Amino acid sequence: PEATTPTPVSTVSQYACQRRTTTKNNNKIFTDAFEVLAESHELNDMEGPCLAFRRAASVLKSLPWTVQNLRVTEDLPCLGEHSMCVIEEILQHGHSFEVEKILSDERYQILKVIPRSKWAVSKAEAQALGNIIDEAVRAITPDAILTLTGGFRRGKDFGHDVDFIVTTPQLGKEERLLTSVIDRLKQQGILLYCEYQASTFDESKLPSHRFEAMDHFAKCFLILRLEDSQVEGGLQTAEEDRRGWRAVRVDLVSPPVDRYAFTLLGWSGSRQFERDLRRFARMERRMLLDNHALYDKTKKEFLAATTEKDIFAHLGLEYIEPWQRNA
Protein backbone atom coordinates (compact mmCIF):
# COMPACT_ATOMS: atom_id res chain seq x y z
CA PRO A 1 0.00 0.00 0.00
CA GLU A 2 1.02 3.61 -0.64
CA ALA A 3 2.71 4.88 2.46
CA THR A 4 1.56 8.40 3.25
CA THR A 5 3.35 8.80 6.56
CA PRO A 6 6.91 9.62 5.62
CA THR A 7 9.62 7.47 7.12
CA PRO A 8 12.07 9.70 8.99
CA VAL A 9 13.74 11.75 6.26
CA SER A 10 16.84 12.24 8.36
CA THR A 11 17.70 8.60 7.67
CA VAL A 12 17.96 9.12 3.90
CA SER A 13 21.63 8.91 2.93
CA GLN A 14 23.28 11.27 0.47
CA TYR A 15 24.86 8.20 -1.15
CA ALA A 16 22.82 6.21 -3.66
CA CYS A 17 24.75 3.12 -2.59
CA GLN A 18 23.13 3.45 0.85
CA ARG A 19 19.61 3.85 -0.55
CA ARG A 20 17.21 1.25 -1.95
CA THR A 21 15.81 2.56 -5.22
CA THR A 22 13.36 0.39 -7.15
CA THR A 23 11.72 1.11 -10.53
CA LYS A 24 8.63 2.31 -8.68
CA ASN A 25 8.98 6.07 -8.63
CA ASN A 26 6.56 7.80 -6.27
CA ASN A 27 7.82 11.24 -7.22
CA LYS A 28 7.82 11.09 -11.01
CA ILE A 29 6.18 14.48 -11.35
CA PHE A 30 9.22 16.04 -9.63
CA THR A 31 11.94 13.82 -11.06
CA ASP A 32 10.71 14.37 -14.64
CA ALA A 33 11.04 18.11 -14.08
CA PHE A 34 14.54 17.68 -12.61
CA GLU A 35 15.55 15.56 -15.59
CA VAL A 36 14.58 18.37 -17.98
CA LEU A 37 16.52 20.87 -15.90
CA ALA A 38 19.55 18.56 -15.73
CA GLU A 39 19.47 17.98 -19.48
CA SER A 40 19.13 21.65 -20.24
CA HIS A 41 22.16 22.45 -18.08
CA GLU A 42 24.08 19.58 -19.64
CA LEU A 43 23.37 20.86 -23.14
CA ASN A 44 24.68 24.23 -22.01
CA ASP A 45 27.85 22.64 -20.65
CA MET A 46 26.98 23.51 -17.07
CA GLU A 47 28.06 20.35 -15.34
CA GLY A 48 27.62 21.63 -11.77
CA PRO A 49 23.90 22.41 -11.84
CA CYS A 50 23.31 19.39 -14.09
CA LEU A 51 24.77 17.05 -11.49
CA ALA A 52 22.86 18.80 -8.69
CA PHE A 53 19.50 18.12 -10.37
CA ARG A 54 20.46 14.50 -11.14
CA ARG A 55 21.38 13.98 -7.47
CA ALA A 56 18.13 15.59 -6.30
CA ALA A 57 16.09 13.39 -8.64
CA SER A 58 17.93 10.32 -7.43
CA VAL A 59 17.09 11.07 -3.79
CA LEU A 60 13.39 11.54 -4.60
CA LYS A 61 13.32 8.28 -6.57
CA SER A 62 14.39 6.40 -3.47
CA LEU A 63 11.49 7.60 -1.32
CA PRO A 64 8.73 5.03 -0.67
CA TRP A 65 6.23 7.90 -0.47
CA THR A 66 5.23 10.95 -2.48
CA VAL A 67 6.43 14.40 -1.47
CA GLN A 68 3.30 16.33 -0.48
CA ASN A 69 4.69 19.37 1.21
CA LEU A 70 7.84 21.40 1.08
CA ARG A 71 8.68 21.01 4.75
CA VAL A 72 9.53 17.34 4.34
CA THR A 73 12.18 18.13 1.72
CA GLU A 74 14.13 20.37 4.06
CA ASP A 75 15.78 17.43 5.79
CA LEU A 76 16.48 15.45 2.63
CA PRO A 77 20.05 15.37 1.33
CA CYS A 78 21.07 16.80 -2.06
CA LEU A 79 18.08 19.13 -2.41
CA GLY A 80 19.33 22.65 -2.99
CA GLU A 81 17.45 25.91 -3.09
CA HIS A 82 16.77 25.64 -6.81
CA SER A 83 15.38 22.12 -6.52
CA MET A 84 13.15 23.20 -3.65
CA CYS A 85 11.77 26.10 -5.71
CA VAL A 86 10.84 23.68 -8.47
CA ILE A 87 9.14 21.35 -6.01
CA GLU A 88 7.25 24.29 -4.54
CA GLU A 89 6.06 25.39 -8.00
CA ILE A 90 4.85 21.88 -8.78
CA LEU A 91 3.12 21.49 -5.42
CA GLN A 92 1.34 24.80 -5.94
CA HIS A 93 0.54 24.76 -9.65
CA GLY A 94 0.90 21.14 -10.71
CA HIS A 95 3.79 22.05 -13.01
CA SER A 96 6.94 24.16 -13.14
CA PHE A 97 6.99 27.31 -15.27
CA GLU A 98 10.76 27.09 -15.54
CA VAL A 99 10.58 23.57 -16.94
CA GLU A 100 7.81 24.53 -19.35
CA LYS A 101 9.91 27.40 -20.63
CA ILE A 102 12.82 25.06 -21.33
CA LEU A 103 10.61 22.54 -23.10
CA SER A 104 9.39 25.21 -25.49
CA ASP A 105 12.91 26.56 -26.09
CA GLU A 106 14.09 26.14 -29.69
CA ARG A 107 17.69 25.33 -28.82
CA TYR A 108 16.68 22.72 -26.29
CA GLN A 109 14.40 21.05 -28.83
CA ILE A 110 17.08 20.95 -31.54
CA LEU A 111 19.75 19.60 -29.20
CA LYS A 112 17.36 17.09 -27.68
CA VAL A 113 16.41 15.29 -30.90
CA ILE A 114 20.00 14.34 -31.60
CA PRO A 115 21.28 11.88 -29.00
CA ARG A 116 24.41 13.06 -27.21
CA SER A 117 26.52 10.20 -28.53
CA LYS A 118 25.73 11.28 -32.09
CA TRP A 119 27.45 14.64 -31.61
CA ALA A 120 30.87 12.93 -31.53
CA VAL A 121 32.81 14.69 -34.02
CA SER A 122 35.90 13.06 -35.49
CA LYS A 123 39.28 14.68 -36.10
CA ALA A 124 38.71 14.63 -39.89
CA GLU A 125 35.35 16.34 -39.39
CA ALA A 126 36.94 18.95 -37.12
CA GLN A 127 39.52 19.56 -39.84
CA ALA A 128 36.78 19.99 -42.47
CA LEU A 129 34.95 22.44 -40.21
CA GLY A 130 38.22 24.32 -39.72
CA ASN A 131 38.44 24.77 -43.49
CA ILE A 132 34.86 26.03 -43.70
CA ILE A 133 35.31 28.54 -40.87
CA ASP A 134 38.72 29.57 -42.19
CA GLU A 135 37.24 30.33 -45.60
CA ALA A 136 34.40 32.34 -44.04
CA VAL A 137 36.69 34.30 -41.73
CA ARG A 138 39.22 35.07 -44.45
CA ALA A 139 36.53 36.30 -46.84
CA ILE A 140 35.73 38.96 -44.24
CA THR A 141 39.18 39.79 -42.86
CA PRO A 142 42.11 38.30 -44.82
CA ASP A 143 44.55 38.65 -41.94
CA ALA A 144 42.20 37.20 -39.32
CA ILE A 145 43.58 34.81 -36.71
CA LEU A 146 41.81 31.46 -36.46
CA THR A 147 42.90 28.86 -33.90
CA LEU A 148 41.52 25.43 -33.14
CA THR A 149 41.14 25.01 -29.38
CA GLY A 150 39.21 22.76 -26.94
CA GLY A 151 39.67 19.00 -26.92
CA PHE A 152 41.03 18.77 -30.47
CA ARG A 153 43.91 21.07 -29.57
CA ARG A 154 44.69 18.66 -26.74
CA GLY A 155 45.02 15.90 -29.32
CA LYS A 156 41.70 14.17 -28.73
CA ASP A 157 40.43 11.98 -31.60
CA PHE A 158 36.78 12.76 -30.91
CA GLY A 159 34.90 15.64 -29.34
CA HIS A 160 31.30 16.64 -28.71
CA ASP A 161 31.91 19.91 -30.54
CA VAL A 162 34.70 21.88 -32.24
CA ASP A 163 36.00 25.04 -30.57
CA PHE A 164 37.70 27.93 -32.36
CA ILE A 165 39.08 31.33 -31.42
CA VAL A 166 38.73 34.02 -34.08
CA THR A 167 40.21 37.49 -33.82
CA THR A 168 42.01 40.17 -35.79
CA PRO A 169 45.48 41.69 -35.36
CA GLN A 170 43.88 45.15 -35.11
CA LEU A 171 42.38 45.78 -31.68
CA GLY A 172 38.66 46.52 -31.87
CA LYS A 173 38.19 45.14 -35.35
CA GLU A 174 37.20 41.78 -33.87
CA GLU A 175 33.95 43.27 -32.60
CA ARG A 176 31.98 42.77 -35.78
CA LEU A 177 33.87 39.71 -37.01
CA LEU A 178 31.65 37.06 -35.45
CA THR A 179 28.37 38.47 -36.73
CA SER A 180 29.88 38.72 -40.24
CA VAL A 181 31.01 35.09 -40.07
CA ILE A 182 27.52 34.04 -38.95
CA ASP A 183 25.94 35.98 -41.83
CA ARG A 184 28.23 34.30 -44.30
CA LEU A 185 27.53 30.78 -43.02
CA LYS A 186 23.83 31.61 -43.20
CA GLN A 187 24.18 32.71 -46.84
CA GLN A 188 25.98 29.44 -47.59
CA GLY A 189 22.94 27.60 -46.27
CA ILE A 190 24.93 25.54 -43.77
CA LEU A 191 23.83 27.27 -40.57
CA LEU A 192 21.23 25.09 -38.87
CA TYR A 193 21.18 26.96 -35.59
CA CYS A 194 22.93 29.96 -34.08
CA GLU A 195 23.03 31.55 -30.68
CA TYR A 196 25.11 34.71 -30.53
CA GLN A 197 26.23 36.46 -27.37
CA ALA A 198 27.65 39.94 -27.74
CA SER A 199 30.68 40.89 -25.69
CA THR A 200 30.14 42.10 -22.12
CA PHE A 201 33.87 42.33 -21.49
CA ASP A 202 34.99 45.06 -19.10
CA GLU A 203 38.77 45.44 -18.91
CA SER A 204 38.78 47.17 -15.56
CA LYS A 205 37.15 44.17 -13.85
CA LEU A 206 39.31 41.81 -11.81
CA PRO A 207 39.46 38.21 -13.01
CA SER A 208 36.64 36.13 -11.61
CA HIS A 209 37.78 33.19 -9.52
CA ARG A 210 34.59 31.30 -10.24
CA PHE A 211 35.26 28.92 -13.11
CA GLU A 212 31.58 28.49 -13.93
CA ALA A 213 31.38 32.19 -14.75
CA MET A 214 33.17 31.37 -18.03
CA ASP A 215 33.90 34.51 -20.02
CA HIS A 216 32.54 37.75 -21.35
CA PHE A 217 33.87 37.83 -24.91
CA ALA A 218 31.64 37.80 -27.96
CA LYS A 219 30.87 34.18 -28.75
CA CYS A 220 28.47 31.98 -30.56
CA PHE A 221 27.16 28.50 -30.35
CA LEU A 222 26.44 27.08 -33.80
CA ILE A 223 25.07 23.95 -35.36
CA LEU A 224 26.44 23.52 -38.87
CA ARG A 225 25.54 21.18 -41.65
CA LEU A 226 28.62 19.23 -42.69
CA GLU A 227 28.48 17.43 -46.06
CA ASP A 228 30.03 14.03 -46.58
CA SER A 229 31.98 15.38 -49.57
CA GLN A 230 33.67 18.00 -47.36
CA VAL A 231 35.29 15.43 -45.10
CA GLU A 232 38.40 13.50 -46.04
CA GLY A 233 37.50 9.83 -45.87
CA GLY A 234 33.82 10.76 -45.52
CA LEU A 235 31.57 11.26 -42.52
CA GLN A 236 31.81 8.91 -39.57
CA THR A 237 28.09 8.24 -39.53
CA ALA A 238 26.29 5.24 -38.20
CA GLU A 239 24.68 2.74 -40.59
CA GLU A 240 21.17 4.01 -39.92
CA ASP A 241 22.16 7.57 -40.67
CA ARG A 242 23.22 7.72 -44.33
CA ARG A 243 21.65 10.97 -45.47
CA GLY A 244 24.98 12.38 -46.70
CA TRP A 245 25.38 15.10 -44.10
CA ARG A 246 25.38 15.54 -40.37
CA ALA A 247 24.82 18.28 -37.83
CA VAL A 248 27.89 19.35 -35.86
CA ARG A 249 28.29 21.70 -32.92
CA VAL A 250 30.76 24.55 -33.15
CA ASP A 251 31.80 27.11 -30.51
CA LEU A 252 33.40 30.35 -31.67
CA VAL A 253 34.84 32.93 -29.30
CA SER A 254 36.19 36.28 -30.34
CA PRO A 255 38.45 38.06 -27.81
CA PRO A 256 40.34 41.31 -28.46
CA VAL A 257 43.80 40.30 -29.67
CA ASP A 258 45.55 41.52 -26.49
CA ARG A 259 43.55 38.88 -24.58
CA TYR A 260 44.26 36.11 -27.07
CA ALA A 261 46.70 34.15 -24.86
CA PHE A 262 44.29 34.09 -21.88
CA THR A 263 41.44 32.94 -24.07
CA LEU A 264 43.56 30.27 -25.74
CA LEU A 265 44.67 28.92 -22.37
CA GLY A 266 41.13 29.07 -20.98
CA TRP A 267 39.46 27.41 -23.96
CA SER A 268 42.04 24.68 -24.43
CA GLY A 269 40.86 22.91 -21.29
CA SER A 270 40.48 20.36 -19.98
CA ARG A 271 37.95 21.73 -17.56
CA GLN A 272 39.73 20.01 -14.69
CA PHE A 273 43.06 21.44 -15.82
CA GLU A 274 41.52 24.94 -15.96
CA ARG A 275 39.97 24.62 -12.53
CA ASP A 276 43.26 23.62 -10.99
CA LEU A 277 45.19 26.29 -12.88
CA ARG A 278 42.92 28.92 -11.33
CA ARG A 279 43.04 27.29 -7.93
CA PHE A 280 46.84 27.15 -8.08
CA ALA A 281 47.04 30.82 -9.06
CA ARG A 282 44.77 31.83 -6.19
CA MET A 283 46.07 29.56 -3.45
CA GLU A 284 49.77 29.34 -4.26
CA ARG A 285 50.48 32.70 -5.93
CA ARG A 286 47.80 35.11 -4.69
CA MET A 287 46.88 35.72 -8.32
CA LEU A 288 43.53 35.70 -10.10
CA LEU A 289 43.37 34.00 -13.49
CA ASP A 290 40.48 33.71 -15.90
CA ASN A 291 39.92 33.73 -19.69
CA HIS A 292 40.43 37.50 -19.80
CA ALA A 293 43.39 38.34 -17.60
CA LEU A 294 45.86 37.53 -14.83
CA TYR A 295 45.91 39.76 -11.77
CA ASP A 296 48.59 39.82 -9.08
CA LYS A 297 46.88 40.60 -5.76
CA THR A 298 50.19 41.28 -4.01
CA LYS A 299 51.46 43.79 -6.55
CA LYS A 300 47.90 44.94 -7.29
CA GLU A 301 48.50 44.84 -11.04
CA PHE A 302 47.44 43.03 -14.18
CA LEU A 303 50.11 40.88 -15.84
CA ALA A 304 50.14 41.04 -19.63
CA ALA A 305 50.76 38.01 -21.85
CA THR A 306 50.99 37.41 -25.56
CA THR A 307 51.51 33.64 -25.36
CA GLU A 308 50.45 30.81 -23.07
CA LYS A 309 54.11 30.44 -22.10
CA ASP A 310 54.02 33.99 -20.69
CA ILE A 311 51.12 33.03 -18.43
CA PHE A 312 52.82 29.87 -17.15
CA ALA A 313 55.95 31.97 -16.51
CA HIS A 314 53.97 34.60 -14.57
CA LEU A 315 52.56 31.78 -12.43
CA GLY A 316 56.00 30.29 -11.88
CA LEU A 317 54.88 27.07 -13.52
CA GLU A 318 56.72 24.87 -15.98
CA TYR A 319 55.09 25.10 -19.38
CA ILE A 320 52.67 22.26 -20.06
CA GLU A 321 51.89 21.47 -23.70
CA PRO A 322 48.21 21.35 -24.77
CA TRP A 323 48.37 17.58 -25.32
CA GLN A 324 49.56 17.23 -21.72
CA ARG A 325 46.48 19.04 -20.36
CA ASN A 326 43.96 16.19 -20.64
CA ALA A 327 43.48 16.17 -16.86
Query: How many C-beta neighbours within 10 Å does residue 232 have?
Result: 10
List the alpha helices (DSSP H) in the chain. Answer: 28-43, 47-61, 81-93, 97-103, 106-113, 123-140, 150-153, 177-187, 260-268, 271-285, 308-314
Site string for ligand TTP, 282-301 (x = CB under 6 A): ---------x----------
> DSSP letters of 161-185?
SEEEEEE-SSTTGGGGHHHHHHHHH
- Count of positions on this chain that bind ligand TTP (CB under 6 A): 18
* CB 326 to ligand TTP: min, Å: 9
Residue nearer to Mn ion on the CB measure, 161 or 215: 161
- Which whole-number Å values give the CA distances from 108 to 33, 79, 195, 221, 279, in the listed order? 14, 24, 12, 13, 32
* CB 249 to Mn ion: min, Å: 7
Enumerate helices (H) and strands (E) in the chain, giving the number of each: 11, 10
Look up 134 and say whether it is catalytic: no
Instruction: Pick left, alpha or beta for residue 115 (phi over 0 → left; psi -120 to 50 → alpha; otherwise beta).
Output: beta
Residue nearer to ligand TTP on the CB measure, 207 or 269: 269
* CB 282 to ligand TTP: min, Å: 17
Q: Which of residues 249-278 bind ligand TTP (CB under 6 A)?
A: 251, 266-267, 269-271, 274
Residue nearer to ligand TTP on the CB measure, 42 or 100: 42
Q: Classify residue 11 by burial, with Cβ atoms within 10 Å: 0-12, 13-18, 19+.
A: exposed
Query: How many C-beta neighbours within 10 Å does residue 39 have?
Result: 18
Residue nearer to ligand TTP on the CB measure, 139 or 320: 320
* CB 23 to ligand TTP: min, Å: 31
Look up 258 and say whether it is catalytic: no
Q: Which of 161, 274, 290, 308 binds Mn ion (CB under 5 A)?
A: 161
Q: Which of residues 74-113 bind ligand TTP (CB under 6 A)?
A: none
Residue nearer to Mn ion on the CB measure, 67 or 231: 231
Q: Please identify which of the residues 251, 258, 276, 296 carries the catalytic annotation.
A: 251
- Count of positions on this chain that bind Mn ion (CB under 5 A): 7
151 in contact with ligand TTP (CB under 6 A): yes
Per-residue burial over 126-163, b if 16 or more Cβ lie within 10 Å, else e, is bebbbebbeebbeebbeebebbbbbbbbbebeebebbb
Site string for ligand TTP, 43-72 (x = CB under 6 A): --x---------------------------
Look up 251 and say whether it is catalytic: yes
Catalytic residues: 161, 163, 251
